[in-house]
């Protein structure tokens, strides 16, 4: 029996999908806390909605030894799943949440996270962003050990691994660091995890740091009216999130990133690093470069730099590599907008909008099949005809995957009177599938493999088309890095050079 979604051939309808969002919160000070932990998690998940719009869940606990976990999970958007009554019922001192886009296992209720499982040391809940490169092997191993699985999700495999005692045993009681080390030993990528047991959360990033994860501190309400906090003992709580964009809406301040291979413990006493996996030359850090290009929200910070600034760098670099003489520069909203604006400034041409975007249509690729994705593109954009009629336009997008978006929008612009439409892409051609948490489809479905690059402009009905180079993208991403930790990026979807080989 194979793990669902584990086959080498991606299902017909997969596309470029968001990665999941994970979030955790622990209150400091006396428990029961006055802090509304469930509400904080819910707001955090709303800010991570762009990472997954399929299902979501929240699990909370009072954090005592025998405490029951309260949970609510459901299909759909965060705002539709959790009612005010749910939030009241989910009252707790500690908790975690997840918003999912499936990469492994069907999009159904059995795979909704967080997963909760009984262990020797009490109930344990797990939220996972990523995709295990060796899920198939791990699944066989667990089944051979008599572990029953109840879902098709690779995240359940991680949860079940946590129920195993570490090799060194547990003579002094629970050894969660030992249990997490065992996960790191069994699987190298890709996972950013939030794990809850009793009164503690563990934030874990895989040894190559493929998916992002960061820590924030919840500021006391008094700081909103100007009070300065003197030290960490004054914070209301600690939070962990896939992206720092989750912090603004909950009154939290960015603290730091969880480093590749690091395990951080969050408790009412604060945060402390409890383990750092030894570095291996063969597997240097490999943060997914597409987090910068497309997935992450522009106001998030990775490696000490804001995603928005990197997207601007991409636009500037693209202007150096592929300038064009036009009347105006525009964007395919919205991940591409910072790149388009920077491109315009660099070629010294006006930036203007050619589309208005329907704010109630989500990201196109979240749609479950090709027909709906095509309709999503049609629903998403309306032409601002009077802004571009008779003009030569260069349209900047962040990426082209299947080319679903580009064909109808070039057609629309031309039909509405654009004189010329040139395409510039602020990342290189995507030619290789991703096995680490992003549903980038098979080789054959990627338009850069279907049509020779020099014929793509014709294919889209455009006047010219050029991509950013791999070296250009790397330069744009590394230019503003401000971290003392070693950094590195996974560019496997662009070069086929995978940091960790999948086992199928
Ligand atoms: O070549 P394709 O297969 O069409 O995929 C690429 C397109 O998909 C994304 O848009 P999306 O609507 O998902 O997100 P955005 O609004 O954040 O740009 C991306 O920004 C490209 O426009
Ligand atoms: N996008 C993700 O990170 C998904 C997590 C996990 N692989 C799942 O499919 O549920």
In the reported structure, the alpha carbon of residue 75 is separated from the centroid of ligand 2 by a whole-number distance in angstroms of: 14
The CB density around residue 2, as the number of other CB atoms within 10 Å, is: 12
How far is Cα 106 from Cα 16, in angstroms, rounded to an integer?
Answer: 16
Q: What is the ipTM of this complex?
A: 0.95
Beta pairing class for 252-257 and 214-218: antiparallel
**pLDDT tens, position by position, 284-320:** 999 999 999 999 999 999 999 999 999 999 999 999 9
**pLDDT tens, position by position, 19-30:** 799 999 999 999
Question: Any residues with Cβ below 6 Å from ligand 1, and which?
Answer: 15-16, 294, 332, 334-336, 363-365, 397-406
How far is Cα 169 from Cα 455, in angstroms, rounded to an integer?
Answer: 61
CA nearest 448: which of 435, 440, 131, 491?
Answer: 440
In the reported structure, the alpha carbon of residue 439 is separated from the centroid of ligand 2 by a whole-number distance in angstroms of: 10
The annotation status of 398 as a binding-site residue, yes or no, is yes
The answer to whether the CB of 103 is under 6 A from ligand 2 is: yes
Contact 453, 423 (CB under 8 A): no
Architecture per CATH, domain 306-358+369-474, reads as: 3-Layer(aba) Sandwich (3.40)
Two tokens, residue 330: 């525009």
How far is Cα 45 from Cα 241, in angstroms, rounded to an integer?
Answer: 9
CA nearest 112: which of 75, 160, 69?
Answer: 75
DSSP class of residue 292 equals I
Q: Is 20 a catalytic residue?
A: yes
pLDDT value of residue 141? 95
**pLDDT tens, position by position, 351-376:** 999 999 887 776 655 554 566 566 66
Which ligand 1 atom sits nearest the alpha carbon of residue 403? 1
Instruction: Give the active site residue among 20, 25, 214, 245.
Output: 20
pLDDT value of residue 362? 65
Domain spans, the chain: 21-283, 306-358+369-474
In the reported structure, the alpha carbon of residue 330 is separated from the centroid of ligand 1 by a whole-number distance in angstroms of: 15
| DSSP codes, 154-208 | HHHHHHHHTTSPPTT--TTS--HHHHHHHHHHH--S--EEEEEETTEEEEEE-TT
Element (H, E) at 72: strand 70-75
Those residues of the chain that have pLDDT short of 50 are: 1-15, 368
Contact 48, 241 (CB under 8 A): yes
In the reported structure, the alpha carbon of residue 408 is separated from the centroid of ligand 2 by a whole-number distance in angstroms of: 30
Q: Is 311 left (phi over 0), alpha (psi -120 to 50) or beta?
A: alpha
Task: Identify the CATH assignment for 21-283 out of 3.30.990.10, 3.30.428.10, 3.40.1790.10, 3.60.20.10.
Answer: 3.60.20.10
The annotation status of 288 as a binding-site residue, yes or no, is yes
* pTM higher than the cut 0.80: yes
Contact 168, 182 (CB under 8 A): no
CA nearest 309: which of 279, 334, 341?
Answer: 341
The annotation status of 231 as a binding-site residue, yes or no, is no
Q: Is 36 left (phi over 0), alpha (psi -120 to 50) or beta?
A: beta
> Prior bond to 301 cis, omega within 30?
no
pLDDT value of residue 375? 63
DSSP class of residue 309 equals H
């Amino acid at each position: 029996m194979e793990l669902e979604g584990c086959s080498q051939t991606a299902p017909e309808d997969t596309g470029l999908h968001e990665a999941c969002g994970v979030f955790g919160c622990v209150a400091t000070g006396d428990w029961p806390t006055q802090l509304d932990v469930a509400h904080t998690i819910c707001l955090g998940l709303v800010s991570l909605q762009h990472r997954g719009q399929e299902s979501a869940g929240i699990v909370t606990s009072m954090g005592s030894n025998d405490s029951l976990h309260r949970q609510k999970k459901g299909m759909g958007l965060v705002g539709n799943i959790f009612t005010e009554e749910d939030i009241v019922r989910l009252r707790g001192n500690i908790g975690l949440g997840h918003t999912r886009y499936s990469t492994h296992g069907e999009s159904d209720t059995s795979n909704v996270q967080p997963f909760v499982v009984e262990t020797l040391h009490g109930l344990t809940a797990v939220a996972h962003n990523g995709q295990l490169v060796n899920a198939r092997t791990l699944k066989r191993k667990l089944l051979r050990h008599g572990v029953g699985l109840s879902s098709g999700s690779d995240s359940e495999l991680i949860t079940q691994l946590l129920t195993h005692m570490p090799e060194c045993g547990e003579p002094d009681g629970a050894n969660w660091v030992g249990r997490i080390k065992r996960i790191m030993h069994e699987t190298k990528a890709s996972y950013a995890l939030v794990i809850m047991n009793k009164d503690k959360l563990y934030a874990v990033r895989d040894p190559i740091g493929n998916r992002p994860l960061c820590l924030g501190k919840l500021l006391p309400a008094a700081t909103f009216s100007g009070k300065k906090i003197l030290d960490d003992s004054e914070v209301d709580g600690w939070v962990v999130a896939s992206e720092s964009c989750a912090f603004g809406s909950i009154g939290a301040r960015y603290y730091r990133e969880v480093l590749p291979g690091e395990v951080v413990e969050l408790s009412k006493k604060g945060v402390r690093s409890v383990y750092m996996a030894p570095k291996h030359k063969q597997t240097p850090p490999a943060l997914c470069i597409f987090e910068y290009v497309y997935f992450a929200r522009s106001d998030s910070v990775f490696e000490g730099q804001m995603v928005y600034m990197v997207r601007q760098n991409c636009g500037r670099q693209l202007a150096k590599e592929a300038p064009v003489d036009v009347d105006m520069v525009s964007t395919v909203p919205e991940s591409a907008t910072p790149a388009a604006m920077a491109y315009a400034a660099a070629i010294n041409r006006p930036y203007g909008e050619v589309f208005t975007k329907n704010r109630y249509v989500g990201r196109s690729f979240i749609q479950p099949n090709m027909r709906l994705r095509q309709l999503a593109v049609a629903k998403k954009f309306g032409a601002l005809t009077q802004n571009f009629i008779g003009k030569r336009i260069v349209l900047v997008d962040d990426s082209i995957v299947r080319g679903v978006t580009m064909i109808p929008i070039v057609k629309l612009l031309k039909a509405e009177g654009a004189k010329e439409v040139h395409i510039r892409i602020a990342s290189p051609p995507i030619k290789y599938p991703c096995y680490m948490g992003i549903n980038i489809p098979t080789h054959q479905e990627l338009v850069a493999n279907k049509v020779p690059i020099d014929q793509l402009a014709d294919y889209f009905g455009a006047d010219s088309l050029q991509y950013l180079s791999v070296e250009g993208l790397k330069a744009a991403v590394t230019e503003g890095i401000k971290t003392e930790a070693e950094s590195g990026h996974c560019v496997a979807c662009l070069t086929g050079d995978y940091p960790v080989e999948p086992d199928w």
